[in-house]
Amino acid sequence: MDIFEEWFERGVTDGLPVVPPTRERVERMLAATRRGAGELVGEMPPNYGRVTVEKAAVNAVMAGCRPEYLPVVLAAVECACDPAFNLHGVATSTHFSAPLIVVNGPIRGRLALNASFGVFGPGYRANATIGRALRLLMINIGGVRPGEISMSTFGHPGRYTYCIAEHEEASPWPPYHVARGLAAGQSAVTLFAGEGPHGISDHASRTARSLAGSLGWSMAGLWNSKHFPLYSHTMLVVGPEHARTFADDGWTREDLARALFERIRVPYRTLLPDEDHGESTNLRFGRQPPSPEDLIAKFPSPEEIHILVAGGTAGRFSVAIPGWLGTKNGSRPITRAVEMG
């Protein structure tokens, strides 16, 4: 049997050919970390298989990773296995989400991770294979197979690979991982359970206030136009041209999140089911509902709006990525420092 067909027969691929994980290739991969081959990185839901450093290396080889990518893969695995990320729910839900890997810090340049033009698309080995390695681990260790344990009604292309770097050099704000509590000089991975990117085009707004309203009202339909408040964390990936507009008016990342939370609101009466627009709301107010004219926010809080800068430096576009459920029963973004080899 052809060696590539053999791995399909074993059922350990994502539907694309994999690199055969020979002992020599795996040992080269393991040489990129000081961690022992048998060290437990985490137990991966939903089957809670044990991910050792060696198993991570095997799947990184299969994904096509270079050895120097392994520390990033290990950090992503640690995020995925954190109970607060709730990979069990993300992986088995009928929803669309997939783990998005966001990389920050000096390692972006060393690995040639794409943060610029076409950041969510093809063409960069590091982005493509790091994201793919996590998905292969989810399949081969976590047991996530479509129609068996993974029951997403549609899925999305990020379930093959979903990995970007922040375009820190084009950002007017401190790097995203600094807002998550790490030092700017550290390399870090954040894992976010997200739908596919929802593009937002605004070539007209020239003030921070106007642009925030444009982005925010474009985000008002995320999940559903009557889901107020949205019951998930949300990521807003601001394009560099849009980021400059905010910077020119002195807006911080926190200013933008607060503006989105405070301004994207609609009267309660517009959220009630009706004949022409009957989808129910996500409102939970106990025994006392709001009055008809009370304004209801789209986003649960400013803290649940995650803002970073990525994409090419030409084009007045940004991207919104709604998450999977909320902080109580859903998924929280998790950030880990990358342990260098």
Q: What pLDDT is attached to residue 329?
A: 75
Instruction: Check if the beta carbon of residue 101 is closer than 8 Å to that of residue 194.
Output: no
238 and 94 share one domain: no
Q: What are phi and psi of 312, to 5 degrees?
A: -70, 160
212 and 137 share one domain: no
Q: What pLDDT is attached to residue 66?
A: 98
The DSSP bridge partners found for residue 147 are none
Q: What pLDDT is attached to residue 184?
A: 94
Given the structure tokens 């304004």, which residue do they identify?
Answer: 295
177 and 272 share one domain: no
For residue 34, CA distances in Å to 39, 78, 340 come to 11, 16, 8
Q: What pLDDT is attached to residue 279?
A: 78
In the chain, how many domains are there? 2
Q: What pLDDT is attached to residue 288?
A: 81
Angle at 124 between CA 123 and CA 125, to 5 degrees: 120
Q: What whole-number distance in Å separates Cα of residue 41 and Cα of residue 18?
A: 23
Q: What pLDDT is attached to residue 198?
A: 97
Edge-first strand order for the sheet with 234-238 is 198-201, 317-322, 234-238, 305-309
Q: What whole-number distance in Å separates Cα of residue 102 and Cα of residue 338?
A: 12
Q: What whole-number distance in Å separates Cα of residue 221 and Cα of residue 230?
A: 9
Q: What pLDDT is attached to residue 277?
A: 86
95 and 160 share one domain: yes
29 and 136 share one domain: yes
Q: Residues in the chain with pLDDT < 70?
A: 1, 284-286, 326-328
85 and 185 share one domain: yes
Q: What pLDDT is attached to residue 328?
A: 64
Query: Which tokens is 221 given?
Result: 């339909």
Q: 102: which DSSP letter?
A: E
182 and 254 share one domain: no
Query: Which tokens is 2 given?
Result: 């052809």
49 and 137 share one domain: yes
Q: What pLDDT is attached to residue 8?
A: 92
For strand 198-201 and strand 317-322, is the pairing parallel, antiparallel, or unpaired?
A: antiparallel
Q: What pLDDT is attached to residue 286?
A: 66
74 and 185 share one domain: yes
Tens of pLDDT along 136-156? 999 999 999 888 888 899 999
8 and 134 share one domain: yes
Domain that holds residue 267: 197-322
45 and 58 share one domain: yes
- Of all helices (H) and strands (E), which one includes residue 165? strand 163-165
89 and 174 share one domain: yes
Given the structure tokens 């669309």, which residue do they identify?
Answer: 96
For residue 203, CA distances in Å to 52, 252, 313, 316 come to 48, 21, 13, 5
The contacts of residue 25 (CB under 8 Å, 6+ apart) are: 19, 61
* pTM to 2 decimal places: 0.96
